[in-house]
Structure 1
Amino acid sequence: MAMRQTPLTCSGHTRPVVDLAFSGITPYGYFIISACKDGKPMLRQGDTGDWIGTFLGHKGAVWGATLNNDATKAATAAADFTAKVWDAVSGDEVLSLSHKHIVKSVNFSQDSNQLLTGGNDKVLRIYDLSKPDAEPQEFAGHGGAVRKALWCNQDQLLLSAAEDRTVRLWDRSSMEVVKSLSFESSVGSMEYVADGHILVITYGKTVAFYNALSLELIQSVEAPASIHSASLHPDKDFFVAGGDDFKLYKYDYGSKEELESYKGHFGPVHCVRFSPDGELYASGSEDGTLRLWQTAVGKTYGLWKCVLPEELISDQSEPSFPNTAEVKA
């Protein structure tokens, strides 16, 4: 009999969790940031879910959040028409970048010196973080709000998914659209796996895998429910997906066979991502929680011990960075 999956539940948010991202592996482990409609993105230790701090300063729902590779910087995209860059060690706001509309997506370049943004004004922007007053480079052409914008191919290319039901590949230097994909329904999520140049796209009930440089379809899988997000394991041997039916599905990447499905959330799953070491995946939901799930159930890792108690809940202390005072309502 298969062992029961026991997720770690990370509470603290008061509204739906709509985006999450992991850092790379640092000397202090790896970290996870969550974007929430409560306007207060949170930073946690990635392997345990232990709360580290909350970034305070947005005046609206936060739709996108990301960390740079070494977890020294965070960036957030919000409904207050700003993208913000934060010192992820102190929790201090470093920059606030004004936009003309709601910002949905933020992504650091590999050297962390540039930030790519996208949102409801349908334009991709690249900001030089060392020259915050300089005008950003702008890429216009989408006919709908940009949901996700990602760097690709050592930052030479950009990928964007928009509500015009297209995914576009842009050349950074010529600023032209090199290739474009069209879908019959809006793209829910997009993940770029640099090691392998694989693009993971979800739309409707479909999880599709494309070559990120040619935009040629590698394969696709139909799930039992509408899927909002999917993530490919770093070893590219299986992937996870979550969506409308509150479940998380795990599939074999080669055979496309469903390996597991778990209902752990009390609302639709909006985002799911594998950790950089592939040992766990995190999910964020309409129910306001993040959950961490083991890739290999029963393995001793993080807070999981070989003999599992019924439910593990990670330590939730009061939110605030050491040098940040927050008045609790």
Structure 2
Amino acid sequence: MIGKNPIFNRIPQLASLLLIIFSLTGISLWCSPSLFAQDIQPRTLIGHTNEIFGLAFDATSHTVASASADQTIRLWDTQTGRLQKELHGHTATIRSLAFSPKGPWLASGASDKTTKVWDISTGKEVVSFSSVFGNIRAVAFSPDGEILASTGDGGSLRLLKWKEKKELKAMKSGFGITYAVAFSPSDTLIATGGSDTVVHLWNPSTGQQQTTLSGHTKSVLAVTFSPDGNLLASGSADGTIRLWEPRTGRERGTLSGHTGEVHAVGF
């Protein structure tokens, strides 16, 4: 049933929705009173003309954004499946999306070396930041929506005060490529993961590295905190998911079973 090259995105807050990409250019939405019901019917969202690399739900789960190698971002109504808006501005593959928890803002990162923020109510670009390091691989908003983290090639990690159109801090997260970034719910830690196989934990206030979490044997491709912030999950090209205690750096366990790379994790 699963199509070629599937990419999975986290289940949104509303338990009645599950989003899965089944093909290179199509999105399938499942809407059901129970994710475990046997009569789940998909709604397929078609429009992109090239591979889809990024997905994000807004805070209400009424809108899902998709990012593609066709250089566009599309906003879809999850209830009807209708295309709401198409955002243009990037000039290369768009690799990451993140909705702000506060307000109608959507961040995107692309291979054109830019990080952009959009107003989804108008479809207009609000601000764009260029990087000297190379492709942008991941973006994430702080819990209050005021700070935007952007990671990419060269082990780069940038913290952007995006409303003021200025860079707060620029750090180097290991070497090679930084594929993933996440803020803790309390906004006291930032986690990054990349091709150096290590999870890095940072203090967003000072920009200082707090600790590193070692265990993966290949690139770390995904990181996320549990809702209470007491656990951190990391997914890797080595096919494993590791669970960590962010405060102590202790590994709580390793989840094995995937036969390929783990590109996304979520609690």
TM-score normalised over the length of structure 2: 0.82
Q: Which amino acid aligns with 2:93?
A: A
| 1:175 aligned partner | 123
Classify the secondary structure of the residue corresponding to 1:213: helix
Alpha-carbon distance in structure 2 between the residues aligned to 1:283 and 1:298: 13
Identity fraction in percent: 22
| 2:52 aligned partner | 103
Alpha-carbon distance in structure 2 between the residues aligned to 1:116 and 1:100: 15
Cα deviation, residue 291, structure 1: 1.3
- Alpha carbons of 1:314 and 1:165: their partners in 2 closer, same or farther (altered >3 Å)? closer
Query: Which whole-Å deviations, capped at 9, do the CAs of 1:46-75 have from their partners, x for residues lacking one?
Result: xxxxxxxxxxx4412234512212444222
Alpha-carbon distance in structure 1 between the residues aligned to 2:255 and 2:89: 44
Alpha-carbon distance in structure 2 between the residues aligned to 1:161 and 1:150: 9
Does 1:119 pair with 2:65? Answer: no
Cα deviation, residue 315, structure 1: 9.0
| 1:21 aligned partner | none
Does 1:89 pair with 2:35? Answer: yes
Cα deviation, residue 264, structure 1: 1.0
Cα deviation, residue 197, structure 1: 2.2
> Is the contact made by 1:83 and 1:106 (CA closer than 8 Å) also made in structure 2?
no
Cα deviation, residue 294, structure 1: 1.1
Alpha-carbon distance in structure 2 between the residues aligned to 1:150 and 1:216: 19
Highest Rg: 1 or 2?
A: 1
Cα deviation, residue 202, structure 1: 0.7
Greater CA deviation, 263-272 or 203-212?
Answer: 203-212
Matches within 5 A, 1:1-329: 57-77=1-21, 79-87=23-31, 89-90=35-36, 92-98=40-46, 99-132=48-81, 134-152=82-100, 154-184=102-132, 185-203=134-152, 204-226=154-176, 227-297=178-248, 312-313=253-254
Alpha-carbon distance in structure 2 between the residues aligned to 1:281 and 1:93: 33
- Alpha carbons of 1:232 and 1:173: their partners in 2 closer, same or farther (altered >3 Å)? closer
> Is the contact made by 2:66 and 2:74 (CA closer than 8 Å) also made in structure 1?
yes
- Alpha carbons of 1:62 and 1:214: their partners in 2 closer, same or farther (altered >3 Å)? farther
**How many pairs does the alignment contain?**
249
> Is the contact made by 2:96 and 2:108 (CA closer than 8 Å) also made in structure 1?
yes
Query: Which whole-Å deviations, capped at 9, do the CAs of 1:273-292 have from their partners, x for residues lacking one?
Result: 22221111111111111111
Report the RMSD for the aligned CA atoms in angstroms: 2.6
Cα deviation, residue 117, structure 1: 0.9
Q: Which amino acid aligns with 2:206?
A: S
> Is the contact made by 2:102 and 2:145 (CA closer than 8 Å) also made in structure 1?
no
Cα deviation, residue 93, structure 1: 5.0
Return 5+ residue gaps in structure 2 as ranges.
Answer: 258-267
> Is the contact made by 2:9 and 2:19 (CA closer than 8 Å) also made in structure 1?
yes
> Is the contact made by 2:219 and 2:238 (CA closer than 8 Å) also made in structure 1?
yes
TM-score normalised over the length of structure 1: 0.68
- Say which structure, 1 or 2, has more relative contact order (CA 8 Å, 6+ apart): 1
Alpha-carbon distance in structure 2 between the residues aligned to 1:85 and 1:191: 23
Return 5+ residue gaps in structure 1 as ranges.
Answer: 1-56, 305-311, 317-329
Alpha-carbon distance in structure 1 between the residues aligned to 2:187 and 2:53: 27
> Is the contact made by 2:241 and 2:254 (CA closer than 8 Å) also made in structure 1?
no
> Is the contact made by 1:210 and 1:218 (CA closer than 8 Å) also made in structure 2?
yes
- Alpha carbons of 1:170 and 1:278: their partners in 2 closer, same or farther (altered >3 Å)? same
